[in-house]
Structure 1
Amino acid sequence: MRSGRAPKTGLLPGVSNMAAFPLLFPLLAGCVAAAVHPSRHRPSCRIVGTSVACSDLSLTSAPANLPSGVQVLDLSHNQLQNLSRDSLADHMGLRHLDLHGNKIHFIQPGLFEEMRDLKVLDLSGNRLNVFAQAKIHIGPLSAVKSLDLSSNGLYTAMSDFFLNDSPSLVELSLNSNSITKIAQNTFSGALSLRKISLHNNVILEIEDGAFDSLDGLSELDLSKNSITCITDFNLSRLRALNLSRNSLELFQSTRSAEPYHLAFLDLSENKLPYFPLLPTNNTIQHLDLSRNRLQSVEVMDMADTKMPETVLTHLKHLDLSYNRLTGLPQSFFNTMMSLEVLNVSNNCIISFSVTDKDLLPTAKIVNFSYNSLQILFLGEGTLQALEELFLQGNDLSTLAHRTFQRLPSLNLLQLQNNLKSLPYRAFANTPLNLLDLSLNPGLEIHRDSLAGLEHSLVQLFLRENNISILNTDMSSLRSLKLVDLSTNHLTRLPAWNRESSIETLNLHNNSLVTLDRTTMAALERSLKTLYVGDNPLSCCGNLDLVRLLQHSAVVVPDIEAATCILREDLEPVNIEKVTREMCRGRKKAHHIIVIVVMVFLAVIALGLLMKYCKSRKRKRIRRFSA
């Protein structure tokens, strides 16, 4: 495997032995001084069996008063600067030594050669670039299997001074350094390596053959670097390759019939315009191409010549999200007989159809969210294993009558779109467990749209749909436990009976004045959580709700916004503070006002009657006088 070649930078000028001597002298002097004058007052370490933790104790050297037989020693986050035989003389039998987060800039050559049981050595977060600048080899790491040199300010070729004689090394971390190039001989002293991590460097170039001598290499992490292209990828024994967060514009494997063991390939967050040219005889199971610049799923070579489609019979997980795809032809899935998860969210796809029942036979999760879908067609007998379908954030306004009825395994459906109507028995024949129909303003739901989900539907979301009246019959949905009707214009609730099993009901931000007494009584048996804030509730018209909130275990997360109106001329009060006495006093005052008004009206009527009678009497007197 080779990558784009970087220009010479001159970051590592040569240093002669004589030039290195002035640098070594103060380091050696400091080392001797630390050994002769150890600190007299040391904080105590934590000892558990053969493990000793001396982390974050401001130590300047390894403690000398530890029990014999220590196998694990943690000296991380201290003030160690120099490591010598004297400072570690009492700890030659260690199996695990953690020196992370110190200020180590000098290690006595050959120090770890005598630690014949040392398997794990963590030197990350130190200043080993100073040691490497002196061009001194650390000496044999004959027994070390895991070595961490992360965050040491190491430049290109500096790692050679630590890896030159590491025959047992299996796992190596060089993360977060300043390496710009992987040379052909970088790992020549550690031929047993199986896992290498070079995350977060500034790698521009990988020389041809840099990893070829590592027959056992199975995991390689080159993420977050500056690699622009990979040509002639030939690491057939590699099982996991991470090239995410680079600047890749091309990924091309060698065209050979040799079997490749690569199972995990991460090419996310790059600049790939086309589908990568993968090994012909591959076993790839997980392929991540998200956040690239894919305009199509065609495979192109370096000369922009269209190549045959790659056979991906082992592929289980494919992520194409956050690209620029406008279409996804059915032929693309011809060889993906094992695909279980397909993510093409956040693209520009307008239509998607599956007409061949032999396509995507094992697909369990399909995510088409946040595209421009206007057409969705699923043929008879297709996607029979599909369990979760995400379609939110598209332009679907209508659905074919049997679109979802043909999916016998579907248990989760996200339909937050611009749907205008929901067909009769839209989800019959499915074991749908979660249905999200939110964010469909003006959605018309047929009374029997949810028929067929009586024994399966558990969660139903209908928020932000501008619904004022919900005509759908929900009383038959006996498995329903969560209903979200928030941010609508509901003036009344749908009918529920005592067989309801609803545990969470969200009525937040609606136009509810009173909650039907019968409905509340039906819900009270199972209800555990209720959202009812931001409604123009009547205090005295919802005394059953007041009792429910004050004398039951029902939780109201938005209780601070749950207010009600006691009288039109008064400010709303929190519903928890309402008492029956408030309403009784209001009723008494209401009765008095009614009586006063009636008496007043009676007096007026009596006065008018008396006036009328007097008027009639005068008329009679006048007729008699005539």
Structure 2
Amino acid sequence: MATLQLLFPLLVSCVAASAPLPLHLPPCQVVQMDVFCSDLSLRSAPHNLPQGIQMLDLSRNQVQNLTMETLAYLTGFHHLNLHSNKIHSIQPGLFKDMTDLKVLDLSRNHLNVFAQSKVNIGPLTAVQSLDLSSNGLYTGMSDYFLADSPSLANVSLDSNSITKIAQNTFSGSLSLRKISLHNNVILEIEDGAFDNLDSLTELDLSKNSITCITDFNLFNLKVLNLSKNSIELFHSSESTERYLLVHLDLSENKMHYFPLLPVKNRLEHLDISRNRLQTINVTGNPEKETEVFFSCLRYLDMSYNQLKSIPESFFYCMGKLEVLNVSNNCINSFSITNKNLLRTVKIINLSYNSLQSLTFGENTLPSLEELFLQGNDLTILDQHIFQRFPSIKHLELQQNNLEICTSDQKHHDSPNCVYFSSIPNLQRLNLSENNLRTLPKNAFADSPLKLLDLSLNPGLEMEKDSFNGLENSLVHLLLRENNISHLSLDLSSLRSLKHIDLSTNQLTTLPIWNKESSIESLNLQHNNLVTLDTSTILALEHSLKTIYMGSNPLRCCSNLDFLNMVQHSGVIVPDIETVTCIHDDYSEPVNIKKVTKEMCHKPTVQNSIIAVVVTALLVMVVLGLLVRCCHTRKRKNSRSFSA
């Protein structure tokens, strides 16, 4: 018996050891009355949650059956997040007693399985925001979630498989203000599907398969997104009632003609980019010009179409337009000569067209700040075209064929050149890829440029005074890929210059800078630099923060000051892995991080030979002196003992 008493605890401990250990899940985080149980592999909410919690986050767990037990028998939620679970079953009437629930997120579950039971989820008495996105729902299934949602204001049905919006789809949710149906396969919208939603202000139908809108009559709608469909035609209903639509996105469709929009509208943002527009006329008839009335329009994007021309008359009723984007079309001529047109426009983008003619009359475009003309192959412009814009700050002219006039050049000297001096507010100018051959003196005088890009103009010759007038303004200077072998300009005079790009040239020496230089970033990649001038390196060291030096044939032991700066100062070399130098003792280039002073102070074979020769000569000289001294003493001794 005593033996059994002794063995019993041992047996109990063995059984306990063999039993499976209880699974300890990480605890939820409780912040005031909000509980966060996200991503804990839970199948239900923990049962020890405090009473009165207002928000429960059970997202990214393993919940499959949504019941009162799953929610720990709590009903006082204001916000319930069940995003990214595996829910395929919901207890009937589960939300009936949740009279405070306003936000319900059921996205990324398997609610298509639940919908097959044809049981309504409701009533959702107080729910204002409902997310049903990514649930595999197809046509008709959303009805079981929306049939009894009297307070619902915002619903997301994104990324499902809905093909049709029926007339009664939203009949149980008449308070809706925002509906998102992005990324479905909607082919059809029945007449009247949205007509009873008097509060609806935002509708997202983007990324579907809608082919036409023939009778748009949602007068109270403010935001409509129809991008990424297959729309060929957009026509509003013929009504004298004023539409409240402010934002309309028709981008990435298949429209050949300009959309027929309400005469009385409040449109501020219109995007028709990436369509197949060949004309701005609604009917496609070139003899019948479109009358558009956009008295409130501020943003118009017609880029990436096939437009060949835009007459000035098109802008007659756009008194508030600020941004006009017609880039990437086939426009060969553009003009604004009426000084009453586009007086509020700040940005015009005409890039990547086929412009051969560009005309802006006197006193036109007084508010223009940014003009994009790159990629047009422009050759001839009015010499003073840019000096007419009192507010211009940013001018993009890369990929053209323009020549720069000098400030004192006369008209007949070079009628094809363009002036860039005396543009009082110009801060950014891009003239890269213009086949520029010379940069005349005073080219930018009295234009307070902060950024100047002259890259990709192979063979560009710059005069000593080319940058006169930019001493106190220029901060960024780009001269990459110009085939420059020597830069004789004194860049020290540009006292505000902080960033300069000289990459991909043929430079063999550094430009000259003094200690007053303010250079912070210097790009010297892909040049022919062998030895960097010590005085220049020391002058730059006090201000330099970043330097790019890859792909240069540097000599290791001729650039010890540069190596010391890189290794021991705060200067950053972002491409340091590609910065190498040549050392006589190594067959392959050495990365500059591995170079030491000792590598450059080792005695070479030649130095050893010289040392041996010098030592031998010294020994011979000393021996010669000793022999001579001995002979002299012998002679003296022989004289003293003579008879």
TM-score, L = length of structure 2? 0.78
Deviations 1:440-490 (A, max 9, x none): 333344444433322222112221222223355533222111111111122
Tell whether the 8 Å contact from 2:328 to 2:353 is kept in structure 1 after alignment. Answer: yes
CA separation of 1:541 and 1:113: change in aligned 2, threshold 3 A: same
Give the aligned partner of residue 431 of structure 2. 415
| Equivalent residues of 2:292, 2:314 under 8 A apart | no
The residue type equivalent to 1:115 in the other structure is: M
Structure 1 position 304, deviation (Å): 8.8
Q: Deviations over 1:101-143 (max 9, x none)?
A: 2232332333212111010111122222223223222232111
1:293 partnered with 2:276: yes
Instruction: Specify which of 470, 479, 483 is matched with residue 466 of structure 1.
Output: 483
What's the offset of the Cα at 1:505? 0.4
CA distance in 1, matches of 2:611, 2:331: 67
Letter in 2 for 1:522: A
CA contact (8 A) 1:392 1:417 kept: no
Deviations 1:543-599 (A, max 9, x none): 432332233221112223222334499543334444556556689958988999xxx
Find the aligned partners of 1:392 and 1:594 in 2 and give their Cα distance: 66
Aligned positions of 1:486-505 closer than 5 A: 486-505=503-522
1:283 counterpart (256, 266, 269): 266
Could you tell me whether the CA contact under 8 Å between 2:547 and 2:574 is conserved in 1?
yes
Q: Structure 1 stretches of 5 or more lacking a match?
A: 1-39, 597-626
Partner of 1:322: 304
* Residue matched to 2:582: 565
Any idea what the Cα deviations from partners look like across 1:296-351, whole Å, max 9, x if unmatched? 4x131388984524233333333333333344444444444433333334334445
For the Cα contact (< 8 Å) 2:334–2:358, is it kept in 1?
yes
The letter of the residue matching 1:318 is L
SS at match of 1:299: coil
Map of 1:52-63 to 2, 5 A cutoff?
52-63=35-46
SS at 1:475 equivalent: helix
- 1:227 Cα offset (Å): 0.6
Does the alignment pair 1:115 with 2:98? Answer: yes
| Per-residue deviation, residues 383-427 of structure 1 (Å, max 9, x unmatched) | 444444444444211146455447543323333333324455444
Match of 1:23 in 2: none
1:347 to 1:45, Cα distance in 2 relative to 1, 3 A:
same
What is the match of residue 619 of structure 1?
none
Could you report, residue by residue, the CA deviation over 1:589-618 in whole angstroms, capped at 9, with x for unpaired residues? 58988999xxxxxxxxxxxxxxxxxxxxxx
- The one of 144, 168, 171 aligned to 1:185: 168
Residue 325 of structure 2 is matched in structure 1 by 343
How do 1:208-607 residues align onto structure 2 when only pairs under 5 Å count? 208-296=191-279, 298-301=280-283, 306-373=288-355, 378-395=360-377, 396-399=400-403, 401=405, 402-405=418-421, 407-421=423-437, 422=439, 424-567=441-584, 571-578=588-595, 589=606
* Sequence identity (%): 64
The residue type paired with residue 254 of structure 1 is S
1: CA distance, partners of 2:334 / 2:600: 59
Aligned pair in 2 of structure 1 residues 141, 513: CA closer, same or farther (>3 Å)? same
Tell me the equivalent position of 2:56: 73
Cα distance between partner residues in 1 of 2:238 and 2:424: 41
Preserved contact between residue 390 and residue 414 of structure 1 (Cα < 8 Å) = no
Matched AA of 2:296: H
Where 1:161 maps in the other structure, the secondary structure is helix
Asked if 2 retains the 8 angstrom alpha-carbon contact of 1:230 and 1:251, the reply is yes
Bigger drift between 154-163 and 390-399 goes to: 390-399
Q: CA deviation at 1:257?
A: 3.9
The one-letter code of the counterpart of 2:216 is: F
Question: Amino acid of the residue matched to residue 83 of structure 1?
Answer: L
Distance across 2 between alignment mates of 1:158 and 1:274: 36
| 517-526 vs 367-376, which moves further | 367-376
Task: Find the counterpart in structure 2 of residue 155 from structure 1.
Answer: 138
Partner deviation per Cα, 1:31-86 (whole Å, 9 max, x = no partner): xxxxxxxxx96733322221122223333344333211111112223333333445
C-alpha distance in structure 1 between counterparts of 2:31 and 2:273, whole Å:
46
Cα distance in 2 for partners of 1:227, 1:215 equals: 23
* Unaligned 5+ runs, structure 2: 1-21, 378-399, 406-417, 614-643
SS in 2 for 1:220: strand
Q: Would you say the 8 A contact 2:149–2:172 is kept in 1?
A: yes
Given that residues 514 and 539 in structure 2 are in contact (C-alpha distance below 8 angstroms), is that contact kept between their aligned partners in structure 1?
yes
Question: SS state of the match for residue 522, structure 2?
Answer: strand
Q: 1:196 aligns with which of 176, 179, 191?
A: 179
Contact 1:384 1:408 in 2 (8 A): no
Structure 1 stretch displaced more, 142-151 or 466-475: 466-475
Distance 1:525 1:357 in 2: 51
Q: CA deviation at 1:509?
A: 0.3
Residue type matched to 1:184 in 2? Q
Question: Which region of structure 1 is more displaced relative to structure 2, 525-534 or 502-511?
Answer: 525-534
Query: For residues 74-113 of structure 1, what are the structure 2 equivalents within 5 Å?
Result: 74-85=57-68, 87-88=70-71, 90-113=73-96
Offset of 1:239 from its aligned partner? 1.6
AA matched with 2:200: L
What is the Cα deviation at residue 144 of structure 1?
0.5
| Paired amino acid for 1:419 | N
Moved more, 105-114 or 186-195: 105-114
Distance in 2, Cα, partners of 1:295 & 1:74: 51
Q: Which digits, 9 at most, give the CA deviation of each residue in 1:208-241, with x for residues without a partner?
A: 2221211111111101100111122222221211
Secondary structure of the structure 2 residue equivalent to 1:152: coil
Q: Secondary structure at the match of 2:565?
A: helix
**One of 180, 185, 207 as aligned partner of 2:190:** 207
Residues 68 and 74, structure 2, Cα contact 8 Å, conserved in 1: no
Say yes or no: does 1:167 pair with 2:171. no
Task: Give the distance between the partners of 1:308 and 1:472, measured in 2 at CA.
Answer: 55
User: Would you say the 8 A contact 1:51–1:71 is kept in 2?
Assistant: yes
Q: Secondary structure at the match of 1:129?
A: helix
| Alignment partners' CA distance in 2, 1:563 and 1:243 | 54
Matches for 1:5-16 after TM superposition, within 5 Å: none
Give 1:431 shift. Answer: 3.3
Conserved 8 A contact 1:466-1:489: yes
Greater displacement, 235-244 / 86-95: 86-95
Residues 354 and 470 of structure 1, relative CA distance in 2, 3 Å threshold: farther
Shift of 1:204: 0.6
- Which deviates the most, 322-331 or 547-556? 322-331
Superposition TM-score, scaled by structure 1 size: 0.80
Segment drifting more, 265-274 vs 422-431: 422-431
Q: Distance in 2 between matches of 1:178 and 1:435?
A: 51
Query: 283-292 or 305-314: which moved more?
Result: 305-314
Aligned length: 556
Q: Take 1:87 and 1:538, find their aligned partners in 2: how far apart are those partners?
A: 72
**Alignment-mate amino acid for residue 495 of structure 1:** I
Question: Contact 1:385/1:409 (CA < 8 Å) preserved in 2?
Answer: no
SS in 2 for 1:251: strand
- Aligned CA distance change for structure 1 residues 351 and 438 (closer, same or farther; 3 Å): farther
Q: Is 1:511–1:536's contact at 8 Å kept on the other side of the alignment? A: yes
In the TM superposition, residue 434 of structure 1 has moved relative to its aligned partner by 2.1
